[in-house]
Structure 1
Amino acid sequence: MTFDNKTIWITGASSGIGKALSIALSKYNCNLIISARRLEALEKVKGMCAHPERVFILGFDLAETNIMQQHAKTAISAFGRVDMLINNGGISQRSPIIETSIDVDRKLMEVDYLGTVALSKALLPHFIANQSGHFVVVSSLMGKFSSPYRSAYCGAKHALHGFFDALRLEHDKDQVRVTLICPGFVNTNIARNALTADGSAQARQDSKTEKGLEVKVFVNKMIKAIKKEKFEAYIGQTETLGVYVKRLSPRLIHWLVKRSAVR
């Protein structure tokens, strides 16, 4: 597939992967809808795009699942249609299970899982009517195997795989495609913004995250995976091998992750 004359909607576009992806895709012959909570940050991203006149800002909070139908209508009206939704918005978590408030687990599920699902379900009838559409979901390697101190994050990302695998099966007949992007460590602010046991931000960088892929490198690989309409893409460094190790032996991946430095 190509991005030519397509309208692409990106959530979590105010920083990190979403920001870099918006800037990269703006160089193609396509329209962009960029979403996040922070309107001022979205305005800055729009100004950094190659063709800001083809960028529409739609601000909202993924946790507000009851108004996703209205957001979908607004997005469709911006350029007349939406061809691709890149579900990139979300938050992470860093804390031991025993110390983590259930409110943190609930927050991760509300934003990372239910927010993404609600927005996708709101747009799905539009894709079916057009007999065309592409959901791109930024999951994580943590959606394929787990890690200590990320229990709520792992749970939400695993849930995304279950839902979108089912959506792909149900709507293959409607020419609706699904690509799950599974990043490893990417050098963004995701660790700094991650919720800790009481719901406050960690406010510091993880060493593994800091040593991860540069965001521009990651985005280039992500764009290639989207163009190929891959079902799943694992993008990172040696940590991506964990997906294949788990297939071989769940006990072995348990042992390897337990021995690795994950904070």
Structure 2
Amino acid sequence: MSFEGKTAWITGASSGIGAALAREWGSRGTRIILSGRDEARLAEVASDIATQTLVLPFDVRDEDAMQAATKTAIGWHDGVDIFVANAGISQRSPAVETSMQVYRDIIEIDLTAQIAATQALLPHFAKRGSGHLLFISSIAGKVGVPMRTAYCAAKHGLIGYADALRGELSQSGVGVHVVCPGSVATDVSRNALTSDGTKRGRSDKVIDNGIRPEDAARRIVDAVAGGQREIIVAEGMEEAMGEGRRTPDALFDQVAAMVAAGYMEKMQAED
């Protein structure tokens, strides 16, 4: 599959996996829309991309700003072909010490805001009958990892939403992809929230020695091009954990077959 001439909109694009995906798709001739809170950092990423770019800064928690950004993104060139729900924040704290506000903040950023952004774009994708929706979850969205209870809750939820949405869109021509990275060498651990909501401020050795963001991005884009629905990007023990919890393609196919057989229409007729 060629992405040349397509448009990809990436949230959380100022650093890490988001920035690497922007550069990787840009190298394949894709126009790039970069979103995040830091306009200056987004502009710096855009300066590395040879194709056309649009810097579209907003806070994913600001739904009015998100709706306005969606209109701008759809109106740029020929609309959005690829949407990457990547914005997120992690956690490093034991549940017994973690305030409920940390749970609320992480779930709002990592789950609710990603759903809201996708919902705003769904009519556009449904009308086009083509395109790709990518949800950046985590190995922690497949396996419960200690010190990350809020993060795991949000990332498990994101996979649940994406899997259900994939079934609903299975006859529409729109592809839905879940990405589960393991340790990637980004600032995810340094920016993680602690029990009182403050930033941790330091990284983990396993993160620092993790997969390079550009390598992770290349693997993700290749997997999307190959039509892979669940994309695990991890190594060693983390890869084994993800593969052990991988959803079988046969199950995805079974859900798609239910939809093709009129499952949704029957459910709606009973209401």
State the TM-score, normalizing by the size of structure 1: 0.90
Is 1:240 the equivalent of 2:251?
Answer: no
Q: 3-state DSSP class of the match of 2:8?
A: strand
Structure 1 residue aligned with 2:6: 6
Say which of 118, 124, 130 aligns to 2:128.
Answer: 130
Q: Distance in 2 between matches of 1:41 and 1:146?
A: 32
Q: State which drifts further: 16-25 or 114-123.
A: 16-25
Q: Distance in 1 between matches of 2:112 and 2:228?
A: 23
**Residue 220 of structure 1: how far off its partner (Å):** 1.2
Structure 2 residue aligned with 1:115: 113
Q: Distance in 1 between matches of 2:229 and 2:245?
A: 18
Q: 3-state DSSP class of the match of 1:179?
A: strand
Say which of 213, 217, 220 aligns to 2:218.
Answer: 220
Once the two structures are superposed, what CA deviation does each residue of 1:89-142 show, in whole Å capped at 9, x if it has no partner?
A: 111111000111100000011100011100000000001111112101111011
Is 1:32 the equivalent of 2:25?
Answer: no
Q: 3-state DSSP class of the match of 2:47?
A: helix
- Contact 1:178/1:229 (8 A) holds in 2: no
Runs (5+) with no aligned partner, structure 2: 247-271
- Contact 1:65/1:114 (8 A) holds in 2: no
Q: Which residue identity does 2:2 align to in structure 1?
A: T
Q: 3-state DSSP class of the match of 2:117?
A: helix
Q: Which residue identity does 1:13 align to in structure 2?
A: A
Q: 3-state DSSP class of the match of 1:137?
A: strand
Q: Distance in 2 between matches of 1:2 and 1:137?
A: 20
- Structure 1 residues 171 and 245 mapped into 2: Cα distance closer, same or farther (>3 Å)? closer
Correspondences of 1:121-160 after superposition (within 5 Å):
121-160=119-158
- CA RMSD in angstroms comes to 1.2
Percent of residue pairs bearing the same amino acid type? 40
Once the two structures are superposed, what CA deviation does each residue of 1:55-81 show, in whole Å capped at 9, x if it has no partner?
A: 001101111234433221110112231
Q: Distance in 2 between matches of 1:13 and 1:186?
A: 15
Is 1:190 the equivalent of 2:188?
Answer: yes
Q: Distance in 2 between matches of 1:67 and 1:108?
A: 19
Q: Which residue identity does 2:96 align to in structure 1?
A: I
Once the two structures are superposed, what CA deviation does each residue of 1:232-253 show, in whole Å capped at 9, x if it has no partner?
A: 0111111110134457xxxxxx
Q: Which residue identity does 2:187 align to in structure 1?
A: N
Structure 2 residue aligned with 1:253: none
State the TM-score, normalizing by the size of structure 2: 0.87
- Contact 1:88/1:138 (8 A) holds in 2: yes
Structure 2 residue aligned with 1:181: 179
Q: Which residue identity does 2:33 align to in structure 1?
A: I
Q: Distance in 2 between matches of 1:78 and 1:177?
A: 21
Q: Distance in 2 between matches of 1:68 and 1:117?
A: 11
Q: Which residue identity does 2:108 align to in structure 1?
A: E
Aligned residues: 245
Q: Which residue identity does 1:181 align to in structure 2?
A: V
Q: 3-state DSSP class of the match of 1:36?
A: coil
- Contact 1:11/1:89 (8 A) holds in 2: yes
- Contact 1:31/1:79 (8 A) holds in 2: no
